Structure 1
Amino acid sequence: IVIIIVIVLAIFGGIGFVFYEMKRSHGALQQEKQQSTLQDQSFTRLQSYVKQTLEQGYTKEQIRQRLLNEGWSLNTVNQVLR
């Protein structure tokens, strides 16, 4: 009878672990989706900023230096200045 109890507990423990992992991975996916949306919004605002400053007469090099000084990554700056 002890063996049956141990087997039942192991089965329930396994099922609980599977549900825990599913919930955890779903939460990570949601967080990644939110970060992706924020990055898209930031990139769109950055594109708008670049367009406005170009219209105001700033050169791409001036904009590049300003963005790099503000902490934007070189990769992002290069993408937005294409």
Structure 2
Amino acid sequence: MTDCGCDKAKAELEEYLHNELARDDARDIREHMAGCADCSSEFHVNVVMTETVKRACKEAAPEDLRLQVLTKLRDLQSTHESA
């Protein structure tokens, strides 16, 4: 086991979270987090934040808001086209 250290683990945490690291680099980060409560905690915060953003992005705007935005965009477009 080669401890990659906190600096490397934290710098590559986002890539690790999204499975974007080479196998050896991912293994080094995983092994480091197994023994480092600070990096492990930061990883879990990132997991929760990523899941929260994903859920928020799946929610649709209320229909009346969507219609208001589309109407405003069309109004602006027609004003721009006739100018």
TM-score normalised by structure 2 residue count: 0.36
Give the number of the structure whose residues are more often helix, by fraction: 1
Larger Rg: 1 or 2? 1
Which has the higher relative contact order, 1 or 2, with Cα contacts under 8 A spaced 6 or more apart? 2
